[in-house]
Amino acid sequence: MNTKEDYQQKIEAELGLAQAKLAEFQARAKVASADTRMSYNEHMRDMEQKFDATRTKLKEFGEASDGAWENLKDGVETAWNSLSTSVQNAAAKFKA
């Protein structure tokens, strides 16, 4: 990614996919057994926290000056990787 806008658009698109997966898990949790629902809810809480952290980092990134955005890119990337791993783990656990 060469520009701040390109990178921001990439992460926003990935966040959209993560949000869709979270919505899918929420729908599945509604029809799951009590034990499975508890597990879904645990994973969803984790994903929601990481989603919020990634959104916050992305907002800071978006508000950064042209000279400072490169310094904030690592924080956004770290937050996104954490969220992505959480989504992948939940998908694997629930065979999504």
Indicate the domain borders of the chain: 4-93
Query: What predicted TM-score, i.e. pTM, was given to this entire model?
Result: 0.83
Residue labelled with tokens 């042209």: 66
Distance CA 29, CA 41 (A): 7
**pLDDT, tens digit, for every residue of 15-68?**
999 999 989 988 988 888 888 888 888 888 999 999 999 999 999 999 988 778
pLDDT higher than 90, residue 79: yes
In this prediction, residue 1 carries a pLDDT of 53
The values of phi and psi at residue 61, to 5°, are: -60, -45
Report CA dihedral (88, 92, 94, 95) to the nearest 10 degrees.
120
List the CATH code of the domain at 4-93: 1.20.120
Mean pLDDT for the stretch of residues 64-87: 90
The first and second tokens of residue 84, run together, are: 């992505």
Return the CA Rg of the chain: 15
